[in-house]
Chains A and B, each alone.
Chain A
């Protein structure tokens, strides 16, 4: 009964000054709208930029560094004492990972591993007339590459699955293709450093967003690349691993290095600073959003103060007829909270609409072939934070005037008349 009565009184006071109430609510709505939009847009951009690195980078990469054998024949002899050998050259079977198939099977069983993609990289020359252009062909398993590293997002023209289905096919880097004037369906010639030649059919373009990379990098299937190099099917130069939890990467890199006797590199070491930028952008968005809300809070504070001065008589008579200070306080916090909740909910709605509008704005950049409009993140978290912030700030903005109202002495008001 009491709660209902307090609500009724709060409502009538609100409606009595509906213009000021509206201004206060619009303040909250505006700040929540901006908060949602800003965070959605910033996070969308962050995700996009992080994706550039995260999508394309394995969490752990196993490979064999080309390096000299630490155990030279001279060191096997105990009689020689100290030996000094100059100009040692790398030896062995180069970049091949020994026993790659077994390693991959082992990794697939590891519960911490999300997926494994093998890779063979081959140095080649693209032959254009009498000119040779430097290039690298990555032999990949198309399906796992697509599953783990969103390969398809970076193939703006042609079908990426043709790489598997069409024998002797290649997806050329966009910049390289432009240089070679190669269209989809054309056949190009490549030469390996050993002098082997092979004709490959262009089935698509690859565009990573980094122009320098696209000048060099092309993709072919594992088998095609192995054939190009004249190597057996077991020849694998890289094993790219994606983990379920990216944070485990450094520890697992160390573990795999020891277990499989290869070199291992984790994403954190490879891209140490990629998180810093995202964090700074998030902090800025939150700071702006909260600042807007605090300003709106001052608006509510002012309006409630005015309302209390205007309604001094009403407060006095309510107290005289049996409303305690607590009841009066609750009336005014109810007013503040309803401004906060209503303003906040509208803010969420408008924020969503504004985000959606931004999401429709064309955003074409050569660097990002699959992105056509501005990226926006519609994470529910932002909406929950937005509404909680609006309720908390309006509550505190209302608390001080409400406390003042609760302390009004009816005797002073009534006798003052």
Chain B
């Protein structure tokens, strides 16, 4: 029996403005440790909405969300922030690096926030992650000196810094060209294969999805496959 990292139990969500439109209808599934899962579906099928509920950032839903055997439903905002910090890593379509900090500091920030290690150790970990992603030479540059693909790799390094249980991605390759998409995909597969990292990636790139271990396909707010 594999360890379940993330479990969604009959999650429903509707938008109420201006009229009530159901977005997610009774979505249930689970992700095991080490899984490399992709969620695909057409635009507006609710796949991103689902991801943001799973990420704990969106709390306006019905049903239950369990991460690492702990229910996320009805938790306070600051408790959820702490869980995101410790257990979830994010990669978005846009890199969201802070331009005021160097690449290294950007990667370190969530680690310093967690406060589990000293700054020296975090710096060491950050360099380690940057090395895995092959951009350790860029560590002391500012984000605006980097190319789009490099920035996205820095964002992945930032997602990895606290060794999260799960990495969630919302179209992480959406803004990248073919070559960089390839690089990012290789990184994800490497993380899954070598470090047994759990990954949950929302994408509309079917080719990308086809190479993941498991595909969840959504349509009209339901999981169809």
CB distance A414 to B96 under 8 Å? yes
The interface stretch among A35-43, A144-152, A318-326, A389-397 is A318-326
Q: Which of B58, B94, B100 has the most CB of A within 10 A?
A: B100
User: Quick one: which of B85, B99, B100 contacts A321, CB cutoff 8 A?
Assistant: B85
A411 near B77: Cβ-Cβ < 8 Å: no
CB contact between B82 and one of A324, A410, A411 (< 8 Å): that residue: A324
B52 close to A317 (CB less than 8 A): no
Residue B170 CB within 8 A of the other chain = yes
* A324:B96 contact, CB within 8 angstroms: no
Question: CA A415 – CA B77 in complex, angstroms?
Answer: 19
Interface readout for B29-57 with A: 1 if CB under 8 Å, 0 if not? 00000000000000000001000100101
A323–B101 contact, CB under 8 A? no
Q: Contact between B84 and A321 (Cβ–Cβ < 8 Å)?
A: yes
| Cβ-based interface call for A313 (8 A) | yes
Q: Name the CB-closest residue of A to B117.
A: A1
Nearest residue (CB) in A for B158 is A321
Judge whether A417 is part of the interface by a CB distance below 8 angstroms.
Answer: yes
CA of A15 to CA of B109, assembled, Å:
18
Closest B residue to A13 by beta carbon equals B100
CA distance A15 to B93 in the complex (A): 28
Closest CB in chain A relative to B61 CB, distance in Å: 12
Task: Check if B140 is an interface residue, CB within 8 A of chain A.
Answer: no
- How many A-B pairs have beta carbons closer than 8 Å: the answer is 75
B92 interfacial contact with A, CB 8 Å = yes
CB 8 Å contact bits of B74-99 with A (1 = contact, 0 = none): 00011001101110001011101111
In the complex, per-residue mask of B57-76: 1 if CB is within 8 Å of any chain A CB, else 0:
11000000000000000000
- The one of A2, A314, A415 in contact with B115, judged by C-beta atoms closer than 8 angstroms, is A2
On whether the beta carbons of B52 and A417 are closer than 8 Å, the reply is no
Q: Is the CB of B109 within 8 A of A321?
A: yes
- Do the beta carbons of A324 and B112 come within 8 Å of each other? no
Note all chain B residues with C-beta closer than 8 A to A13.
Answer: 100
With A16-B99, A410-B57 known as contacts, the answer to whether A321 contacts B112 (CB < 8 A) is no
Which one of B48, B86, B113 lies within 8 Å of A415 (CB-CB)?
B48
For window 1-35 of A, CB contacts with B under 8 Å fall at 1-2, 5, 12-13, 15-16
Of A320, A326, A415, the most chain B CB neighbours within 10 A belong to: A320
Closest to A12 in B: B100
- Considering the chains assembled together, what is the distance between the CA atoms of A67 and B86 in angstroms? 95
Nearest neighbor of A314 in chain B, beta-carbon distance:
B98
How many Å from the CB of B74 to the closest CB on chain A? 16
Q: Does A249 have its Cβ within 8 Å of any Cβ on chain B?
A: no
Residue A316 lies at the interface, judged by CB distance under 8 Å to chain B: yes
CB of A324 within 8 A of CB of B52, answer: no
Return chain B residues, CB-CB under 8 Å to A410.
Answer: 57
Q: How far is A15 from B99 in the complex, measured between Cα atoms in Å?
A: 12
Residues A317 and B96 in contact, CB atoms below 8 Å apart: yes
Once A15-B100, A410-B57, A414-B170 are accepted as A-B contacts, the answer to whether A320 and B48 lie under 8 Å apart by CB is no
Residue of A nearest to B101 (CB): A12
Given contacts A12-B100, A411-B52, contact A319 B57 (CB under 8 A): yes
Do residues B77 and A321 form an inter-chain contact, with CB atoms below 8 A? no
Q: Are B90 and A417 in contact (CB under 8 A)?
A: no
The answer to whether A317 and B112 have CB atoms under 8 Å apart is no
Within 8 A of A (CB), among B151-207: 158, 170
> Among the listed A5, A319, A322, A411, which residue makes an inter-chain contact with B86, where contact means beta carbons less than 8 Å apart?
A322
A320 x B113 contact (CB < 8 A) = no
Q: Report the nearest B residue to A11, measured CB to CB.
A: B100
In the complex the two chains form, what is the Cα distance from A326 to B86 in whole Å? 17
Q: Given the complex, which residues of A lie within 8 Å of B170, measured CB to CB?
A: 414-415
**Bound-complex Cα distance A325 to B79 (A):** 11
Q: How far is the CA of A313 from the CA of B90 in the complex (A)?
A: 14
Task: Take A15-B100, A410-B57 as given contacts and tell me if A326 and B78 are in contact as well, using a CB distance cutoff of 8 Å.
Answer: yes
Assembled-state Cα–Cα distance A156/B101 (Å): 68
Instruction: Please report the C-alpha to C-alpha distance between residue A314 and residue B115 in the assembled complex, in whole angstroms.
Output: 20
A325 touches B78 (CB 8 A): yes
Is the pair A324, B81 in contact by a Cβ cutoff of 8 Å?
yes
Docked complex Cα distance between A327 and B112 (Å): 13
Return chain A residues, CB-CB under 8 Å to B132: none
Please determine whether A320 and B78 come into contact, CB atoms closer than 8 angstroms.
Answer: no
Taking the complex as formed, is B114 at the interface, i.e. its CB lies under 8 A from any CB of chain A? yes
Provide the A306-320 mask, 1 if CB < 8 A to any CB of B, else 0.
000000011011111
In chain A, positions 290-320 with a C-beta closer than 8 Å to chain B are 313-314, 316-320
Q: Does residue B110 face the partner (Cβ distance < 8 Å to A)?
A: yes
In the complex, are the beta carbons of A321 and B52 less than 8 A apart? no
Contact between chains at A317 and B113 (CB < 8 Å): no
B116 shortest CB reach to chain A, Å? 9
Shortest CB–CB separation between residue A176 and chain B, in angstroms?
Answer: 76
* Residues from 377 to 417 in A contacting B, C-beta threshold 8 Å: 409-411, 414-415, 417
Tell whether, in the assembled complex, residue A321 and residue B57 are in contact, meaning their CB atoms are under 8 Å apart.
no
Chain B, Cβ-Cβ closest to A4: B112
Bound-state Cα–Cα, A324 to B84, Å:
10
Q: A16: which B residues are within 8 A, CB to CB?
A: 99-100
Cα–Cα, bound, A411→B58 (Å): 7
A326 cross-chain contacts in B, Cβ below 8 A: 78
Residues of chain B touching chain A, judged by Cβ–Cβ distance below 8 Å, are 48, 52, 55, 57-58, 77-78, 81-82, 84-86, 90, 92-94, 96-101, 109-110, 112-115, 158, 170
What are 11 inter-chain pairs, A to B, with CB distance below 8 A? Answer: A5-B112, A12-B100, A16-B99, A313-B94, A317-B96, A319-B81, A320-B90, A322-B82, A322-B114, A323-B113, A415-B170
Taking Cβ atoms with an 8 Å cutoff, the residues of A that contact B are 1-2, 5, 12-13, 15-16, 313-314, 316-327, 409-411, 414-415, 417
With contacts A12-B101, A15-B100, A322-B86 known, what are 14 further pairs, Cβ within 8 A?
Answer: A5-B109, A13-B100, A313-B94, A313-B96, A317-B98, A320-B96, A321-B109, A322-B113, A322-B114, A325-B77, A325-B78, A327-B81, A417-B92, A417-B94
